[in-house]
A and B are shown apart, each in its own frame.
Chain A
Amino acid sequence: MITGGESPRQPYEKYFEWYSNQDRAHLIAKSRDAENIFRKTGITFAVYGHADSSEKLIPFDIIPRIISGREWRKLAQGIEQRVIALNAFLDDIYHKQEIIRAGRIPRELIERNDAFLPEMIGFRPPGGVYTHIVGTDIVRTGEDEFYVLEDNARTPSGVSYMLENRETMMQMFPDLFHANKVRPVEDYPYLLRQSLASLAPPGCKGKPRVAVLTPGIYNSAYYEHSFLADTMGVELVEGSDLRVIDGKVKMRTTRGYEAIDVLYRRVDDDFLDPLTFRPDSALGIPGIMDVYRSGNITIANAPGTGISDDKAIYSYMPEIVEFYTGRKPILENVPTWRCSEPQSLKYVLEHLEELVVKEVHGSGGYGMLVGPTATKKERADFAEKLKAKPANYIAQPTLSLSTVPILVNKGIAPRHVDLRPYVLVSDKVQIIPGGLTRVALKEGSLVVNSSQGGGTKDTWVLED
């Protein structure tokens, strides 16, 4: 928020004016109020591997992250370009594979990748849309310098926090919203439902029936699943509620079995259909892939989209964007060493103390090494894992991430953040002005994942 330690960056001017008139003790009390609001609403998540903490709160910081309208426009253009490229890439990969034939991407990278689903070859989802919902993770490193960290084209989570954070801020600080013209995010559930319904399958006659598929109440994101179903006004279903009958996916209702046309699934590909994928899955619906392929249900996001946001593919994104859009990418890609390549592996091993090393298929900040903050022993241990299975890893430099202010007991302090805007794809691409800002609450930390002590903030895009 502060440039050169003097005056606040332009988008923060009005906020800062307001802040300087606030009593700090009062604000800290407000922080506690916010926590109570979240607790009573039940906005909780589960941390895997913690037996006793089945429901935890994500810490919330009451200072909003503010983005100017001008900054946002550039970001939005860049995201739209990327999302269009992702869909074109998926369509190509599951059809003609021109990008492979053109020699831009190695064939084995696709075909030996677990996220690539041969079942999708030659099949085009309704409306030709693969990624109905995308959450693009972005970091800012300087004025107008944005890097994309990850594309999250499978089942990105966190949008309920975007909405609840805004709701909470408006409840606590209505005066701030009078002084600042903040673009609304509240219509997300409405847009999501419209967007999903507009991509109903050819077999759907009449008004499409939409449902959200959740793994159940013990899933870490269950709150979000129920929140989205509730705010969209559609059924929340589990695999055991559904059956394939007469070539349709139907749910067990109090009136008998009724068909579903569009399924917003929050269950991974592997678990979707035990007849096609993991036979031990109890979360899916046996036979749903047949219904899908015969045009009687829309699955959002489409199965097999994981191939586009895979960490091994990530390093090729600049080529992918250029190949399908014919233009240079607007947003930067973080330089990435693929440890499968001997040259890169050598470099990575020699520079571990400067690099972040990630598992290619990992997520949630698990199984990664942050070189600069790791101990000597941690780096040495990690080097062994790396040498044993180099193809499992990629490495990236630690970016000098921008910081934003958070409220601490002593006042304001800078912390590193990222940003996940949410994108809806139908016959158009809609980017919700805002998103989820995750913040590394520990001083100096670069890890923003909620499972690793990260928090969230409301994210404002100003109308200017």
Chain B
Amino acid sequence: MLGRTANGLYWMFRYIERAENIARLIDAGLRMSLTRSGTGDDDWDGVLQSAGVRETFDEGHSKLTSADAIDYLLRDRSNPSSVMSCVDYGRNNARMVRTALTRETWEATNEFWIELKSLLSKRLKAAEMPEAIDAIKHRAGLIRGAFHGSMLRNELYNFARIGTFIERADNTSRILDVKYYVLLPSVSAVGTSIDNIQWESILRSVSAHRSYSWAYDGEYRSMNIADFLILNGQMPRSLAYCYEKIVSELGYLAKDYGERLPAHDTADSIRKTLQTRAIKEIMDQGLHEFLEDFVTRNNQLGMEISDGYRFYA
């Protein structure tokens, strides 16, 4: 396959994943502003940080209001990580690699774009938000379903999946990093109700507030939450889970191509860290430092894959 096609697939799936994750972040932010008394605008500061757009937001806005933040995250095309921008880029990449996608996968992507364009043609009112967020999650789910149900399990599939999981790992680690301080045991050993809300918001932004209760017997404890999102191999948005998948997809590529690349070693070593470290050890050595280091290595892996498999745009 063309290096350009591999690149297009990889980015198509990164952008679709990002669109969905941004929608989850907005969802969590909305929820916070409903449950907290007083001004909810501060919460959006954290959401913008998690989305990695806190600074660019300031370039176009003199102050932070929840309405502006939501609009910036959802619709603003000057924000390359807004849901609308992500779906635009994702679909453009899909058009470029059209021949690499099954008809079902392409149609699901194209319909996502068509629906979103009309859904986000104007600023949404607060009352319209839940429906919009649902539609985005729903559409992204349809792409995933069509992709799983119809694509050949070959290199195309591997590159697309790698894009998904590198993006997802990046998102989860950023969400954690923005809120890492509320998870530090030193702040309070037992969660106050404010902490509980903060923690639930973290879980909600990865759509895991229900599954968490199943996995940890409904106990909200900062250590467990960090464990869930970083090390729990059953949690589909945890760093450990993402790296299981990345290593496995890279393994198929190595077999198919008959060679291992530097990317394989990098991925193996990241996975090893996630397999062997205990959450307490990570917390003791510094959660923030751990996450920062992870984001850097995750990015590095992305670049090694891109070089090793001769991606180009």
Contacts from A to B (Cβ < 8 Å): 39-42, 217, 222, 226-227, 229-230, 235-238, 240-241, 251-256
Residue in A217, A241, A255, A256 whose Cβ sees the most chain B Cβ within 10 Å = A255
B92 engages A251 (CB within 8 Å):
no
Cα separation A235 to B4 with both chains bound (whole Å):
11
- Complex CA gap A410/B48 in Å reads 55
Contact A255 B103 (CB under 8 A): no
Interface 0/1 of B105-135, CB less than 8 Å to A: 0110011001000000000000000000000
* Set B3, B95, B106, B311: member contacting A217, Cβ < 8 A: B95
- Sorted nearest first, the 8 A-B pairs with minimum C-beta distance are A226-B98, A230-B99, A254-B309, A229-B99, A236-B99, A42-B110, A254-B6, A252-B3
Whether A254 and B110, one on each chain, are in contact in the complex, defined by CB atoms closer than 8 angstroms, is no
With beta carbons under 8 angstroms apart, the residue of A39, A40, A241, A255 that contacts B4 is A241
Find chain A residues with CB under 8 A from B310 CB: 252-256
How distant is B88 from chain A, measured CB to nearest CB, in Å? 12
In the complex, what's the smallest C-beta–C-beta distance from A415 to chain B, in angstroms?
29
* A252 and B2 within 8 A (CB): yes
A39 to B110, CA, bound (A): 9
Please indicate the chain B residues that have their CB under 8 angstroms from the CB of A236 in the complex.
98-99
**In the bound complex, CA of A41 to CA of B98 (Å):** 11
Say yes or no: A41-B107 contact (C-beta < 8 A), given A226-B99, A252-B312: yes
- CB neighbours of B214 from chain A (8 A): none
**B312 nearest CB neighbor, chain A only:** A252
Interface residues of B (CB under 8 A from A): 1-6, 92, 95-96, 98-99, 103, 106-107, 110-111, 114, 155, 257, 309-312
The distance from the CB of B303 to the nearest CB of chain A, in whole angstroms, is 15
Judge whether B103 and A41 touch: CB under 8 Å.
Answer: yes
Chain B interface secondary structure, helix, strand, loop or mixed?
A: helix
Chain B: minimal CB distance from A223 (Å): 8
A190 CB to nearest B CB, Å: 16
- For A229, what are the chain B residues with a Cβ–Cβ distance below 8 Å? 99
List 26 A–B pairs whose Cβ atoms lie within 8 Å, in order of A's numbering: A40-B110, A40-B114, A41-B107, A41-B110, A42-B106, A217-B96, A226-B99, A227-B98, A230-B98, A235-B1, A235-B2, A235-B99, A236-B99, A240-B4, A241-B4, A251-B2, A252-B2, A252-B4, A252-B312, A253-B1, A253-B3, A253-B310, A254-B155, A254-B309, A254-B311, A256-B310
The answer to whether B1 and A254 have CB atoms under 8 Å apart is: yes
In the complex, what distance in Å separates the CA atom of A254 from the CA atom of B162? 15
Chain B residue nearest to A256 in the complex (CB): B310
Give Cα A120–Cα B114 distance, bound, in whole angstroms: 46
Q: Give the Cβ gap from B95 to chain A, nearest Cβ, in Å.
A: 5
Q: Give A256 to B3 CA distance when docked, in angstroms.
A: 8
Q: How far is the CA of A248 from the CA of B275 in the complex (A)?
A: 48
Given A40-B107, A42-B106, A42-B110, the answer on whether A254 and B99 have CB atoms closer than 8 Å is no
Q: Determine the chain A residues whose CB is within 8 A of the CB of B114 once the complex forms.
A: 39-40
B108 → chain A closest CB, angstroms: 9
Chain B residues contacting A256 (CB-CB under 8 Å) are 310
How far apart are B291's CB and chain A's nearest CB, in angstroms? 31
Q: Which A residues touch B106, using CB under 8 A?
A: 42
Cβ-closest chain B residue relative to A231? B99
Chain A residues with Cβ below 8 Å from B1 are 235, 253-254
A238–B312 Cα distance when bound, in Å, is 13
Note all chain B residues with C-beta closer than 8 A to A235. Answer: 1-2, 5, 99
Measured between beta carbons, the chain A residues less than 8 angstroms from B311 are 254
A226 and B97 CA atoms in complex are apart in Å by 8
From A41, A217, A241, contact of B92 by CB (8 A): A217
Counting chain A CB atoms within 10 Å of each CB, the highest count among B4, B5, B99, B309 belongs to B99
A227: chain B residues within 8 A (beta carbon): 98
User: Smallest CB–CB gap between A243 and chain B, Å?
Assistant: 12
Tell me, rounded to whole Å, the shortest Cβ–Cβ distance linking B307 to chain A: 11
On chain A, the residues within 8 Å of B98 by CB distance are 42, 226-227, 230, 236
**A237 cross-chain contacts in B, Cβ below 8 A:** 2
- With CB as the reference atom, state the residue of chain A lying closest to B95: A217
Assembled-state Cα–Cα distance A230/B99 (Å): 5
B2 touches A40 (CB 8 A): no
Name the B residues within 8 Å of A238 (CB-CB): 4
Task: Report B158 CB to chain A, min CB distance, Å.
Answer: 10
B6 touches A42 (CB 8 A): no
Residues on A with beta carbons closer than 8 Å to the beta carbon of B95: 42, 217, 222, 226
| CA of A253 to CA of B95, assembled, Å | 19
A42 cross-chain contacts in B, Cβ below 8 A: 95, 98, 106-107, 110
B residues near A252, Cβ cutoff 8 Å: 2-4, 310, 312
Residues from chain B with a CB closer than 8 A to the CB of A240 are: 4
Complex Cα–Cα for A254 and B310 (A): 5
User: Which residue of the partner chain B has the closest CB to A216?
Assistant: B96
Bound together, the chains give a CA A434 to CA B217 distance in angstroms of 66
What is the CA–CA distance of A222 and B110 in the complex, to the nearest angstrom? Answer: 15
Bound Cα distance from A236 to B97, whole angstroms: 8
Give Cα A161 to B168, complex, Å: 39
Taking A217-B92, A230-B98 as given, write out 7 further A-B residue pairs in contact, using a Cβ cutoff of 8 Å, ordered by the A residue number: A217-B95, A226-B98, A235-B99, A252-B4, A253-B310, A254-B2, A254-B155
Q: How far is the CB of B94 from chain A (nearest CB, A)?
A: 9
Central interface residue in B2, B6, B107, B309, by most chain A CB within 10 Å: B2
**B103 → A minimal CB distance (Å):** 7
Q: How far apart are A434's CB and chain B's nearest CB, in angstroms?
A: 21
* Across-interface contacts of B92 in A (CB, < 8 A): 217
Q: How many Å lie between the Cα of A217 and that of B91 in the bound state?
A: 12
CB of A15 to closest CB in B, whole Å: 29
Of all chain A residues, the one with the shortest Cβ separation from B93 is A217
> In the complex, A278 Cα to B45 Cα: how many Å?
54
Residue ID in chain A nearest B101 by CB atoms:
A230
Q: Which residue of B lies closest to A238 (CB)?
A: B4
- Report the bound CA distance from A39 to B117 in whole Å: 14
Complex: A145 Cα to B27 Cα, angstroms? 66
Chain B nearest CB, measured from A149 CB (Å): 32
Chain A residues within an 8 Å CB radius of B6: 254
State how many angstroms separate the Cβ of A382 from the closest Cβ of chain B.
39
Q: How far is the CB of A184 from chain B (nearest CB, A)?
A: 19
Cα A236 to Cα B95 in complex, Å, equals 12
A222 to B98, CA, bound (A): 10
